[in-house]
Amino acid sequence: MLDIGVALGQVSTQSSILNLSDTARGRINTIYIVIIFVGGTIGSAAAAFAWARYAWAGGSGGPGTVISALGFHLRWYAGMSIVYRGNEIEPG
């Protein structure tokens, strides 16, 4: 399921890139692919380091906790930004 989601995200992003102007399409696609490969390299290196140093706790438990906390934080922040925009419900 995760691989399908990643593949669909990449196809969606590349189709958006291909809909840009003819002159910018190649450069933006190159930057996108380079960022994907660099991100994969950094992620693989970090995972290998975490696994070598902390075994299961660093390889799955630690990053999972960090990602979950980040998700909760972003969700809370998004909810707070709606309140601060003046969309809160008035008491009464």
Report which of 81, 77, 59 is spatially closest to residue 69, judged by C-alpha positions.
Answer: 77
Within a 13 Å sphere around the CA of 85, how many CA atoms are in the beta-carbon half? Answer: 7
In this predicted structure, what is the pLDDT of residue 81? 52
In-domain check, residue 21? yes
In this predicted structure, what is the pLDDT of residue 79? 63
How many domains does the chain divide into?
A: 1
How far is C-alpha 51 from the geometric centre of its chain's CA atoms? 21
**Splitting the chain (92 residues) into consecutive groups of 10 residues, what average pLDDT does each group show?**
81 85 85 90 87 80 78 72 52 48
In this predicted structure, what is the pLDDT of residue 92? 47
Domain with 72, as residue range(s), is 2-87
How far is C-alpha 9 from the geometric centre of its chain's CA atoms? 10
Q: Is there a contact between 29 and 14 (Cβ–Cβ < 8 Å)? A: yes
In-domain check, residue 92? no
